[in-house]
Amino acid sequence: MSAATGRISVWPPLPPGVWLRRPSRRLPFPLEEPGCRLLAWGRHGLWHGARALGIGAGDQVLVPAYHHGSEVEALERSGARCSFYGDSEALAPDEDELDHLIGSRTRALHLTHFFGFPQDAARWRRFCDSRGLRLIEDAAQAWLASRDGRPVGSHGDLAVFCLYKTFGLPEGATMLMDAPADFARLDPRPGVRVLARKHAAWAASRSAFLARLAALRSRLGRDAVFDPERDRSLRDPEAMPWSTTRFLLRRVVDDTVAPRRRANYHVLLGGLAALASPGFGSLPEGASPFLFPVETSDKAGLLEHLRARRIEAIDVWSAPHPSLPVDGFPAVAARRARTVGLPVHQELMRRDLDRIIASVLEHAERRS
């Protein structure tokens, strides 16, 4: 086995040894909160949560113009109408802009904790309270993050988290509201095929031979072609995670994960600071990074360059939701055209990080 040439994925893999670990007695926020409900996907939490908050047909929700698209689809499928804000490099809401957008049918502010970087949710909680709005915290990429000693998601009337973006679970998300959650039965199937892929990803990260097989499968499989419509689809909002999810959750959670992700981010920042996306050139205390965003004038070329070196990065949010008036947000369009997300998860080794840095710099030098 050659660990130095294994496949590096932006998604955390699932070590096979997890089945032998002792279960954790305590689960991190929000899993032990009375209002926490387990779901298959974070977008389902937005769909259920908006309806539970009384956001109905024609009601307005203020949503970032910089978005994945699945959150907008979920809100619109619940009946809401999305109005978009934010065209600056800061990616934080602007009070004057929000006040200009607020109308008689405005019901909520959707606040996204981008890439695991915590927003000032306490400030926006006060903003919403003063204007009679609900606060929706989108922490899909920010589970385990905190700000000023409080976990991300603890200020919102509704908060959603994607568990599989932090640990190598096949799926799994949560929604958190003040009201006690109604608990649905998990999907009785164990999800063997998906679990096998997660374990295979871990093995491929440590074996050059298995990495080559994984790359071949990716090229031949249906996931090789990105479909924005399929990617942002609501799917079945009543779907539940596999029956193995609760068992695995108590065996993958680890208090060291967020610090390890921050440490990996610092290593990447040390080599790629000049390429870091605006707003992500320093790491705030309490962040739990989901990825390391870099900017490039040759996005497709960088992704292909990394893929050839067995590094799976993310083409970050190139395609917005169709309801976004793209021409009204040129800075967001520019960010979409330039941003690539690099791996930063806790299963990476130092040699993996060095390889990522070297590969990105090699592409940058070729371009220059």
pLDDT digits (tens, 9 = 90+) for 52-71: 999 999 999 999 999 999 99
Rounded CA separation 345/166 (Å): 7
The β-bridge relationship of strands 81-85 and 339-342 is unpaired
Hey, what amino acid is at 230? R
Backbone angles phi, psi at 57, to 5 degrees: -60, 125
Query: Which CATH number covers residue 75?
Result: 3.40.640.10
Domain, as residue range, for 128: 36-177
Q: In this structure, is residue 362 part of a structural domain?
A: no
The DSSP result for 87-133, as a single string, is -STT-S--HHHHHHH--TTEEEEEEE-GGGPPP-HHHHHHHHHHHT-
- Cα 228 to its chain centre, rounded Å, is 16
Q: What is the band of 183 on the pLDDT scale with cuts at 50, 70, 90?
A: confident
Q: In this structure, is residue 154 part of a structural domain?
A: yes
pLDDT digits (tens, 9 = 90+) for 228-273: 899 999 999 999 999 999 999 999 999 999 999 999 999 999 999 9
In this model, does residue 357 exceed pLDDT 60? yes
The 8-class DSSP code of residue 156 comes to S
Say what the pLDDT of residue 308 is: 94
Say what the pLDDT of residue 4 is: 53
Rounded CA separation 49/243 (Å): 23
- The percent of residues above 90 in pLDDT, for the chain, comes to 87
Task: List, in order, residues 6 or more apart from 59 with CB less than 8 Å away.
Answer: 79, 80, 81, 105, 106, 107, 108
Rounded CA separation 48/68 (Å): 19
Number of structural domains (the chain) is: 1
Rounded CA separation 356/347 (Å): 14
Say what the pLDDT of residue 214 is: 61
Say what the pLDDT of residue 76 is: 97
Q: What is the band of 224 on the pLDDT scale with cuts at 50, 70, 90?
A: low
The three-point CA angle 324-326-331 to 5° equals 120
The mean-pLDDT minimum among 51-65, 204-218, 274-288, 328-342 falls in: 204-218
Q: In this structure, is residue 267 part of a structural domain?
A: no
